[in-house]
Chain A
Amino acid sequence: MLLFKLAFRNIFRQRRRSLLTALSMAGGYILCVFSFSLSEGSYNNAISFFTLDHTGHVQIHQDDYYRRPKIHKTIDNPESVSELLDANDEIESHTLRVFAPAIAYSDTDNTPAQVIGVDLERERSTSTLEDKVSSGSYIDSEPNAEGYYSAMIGAGIANSLNIDIGDELILISQGADGSVANDIYIVKALVGDRDSLDRATVFLPLRAAQEFLSMFGRVHEISILLRDDDAARDEAALLQEQLPELTVSPWQVVESTFYQSMQTDKQGNNFSMGVIVFIVFVGVLNTVLMSVLERTREFGVLKAIGSRPFKIALLITLETAVLATLSLLAGLLVAVPLVAWFTFVGIELAQPMNVGGIVMSHLTGDMSLFVFAAPLILIVIFAILISVPAGIRAARIPPTEAMRSH
Chain B
Amino acid sequence: MNTEQILVEIREANLSYLMLAQSLIRSDREQALYRLGICEDTANTISGLTPAQTMKVAQSSTLLCRFRMDDELVWNLITSHGKNAANEGVGRLHAAILLAGRHQEAA
Query: Is chain B a partner of chain A in the same complex?
Result: no
Binding site for A on B (CB under 8 A): none
Which A residues are closer than 8 A to B by beta carbons? none
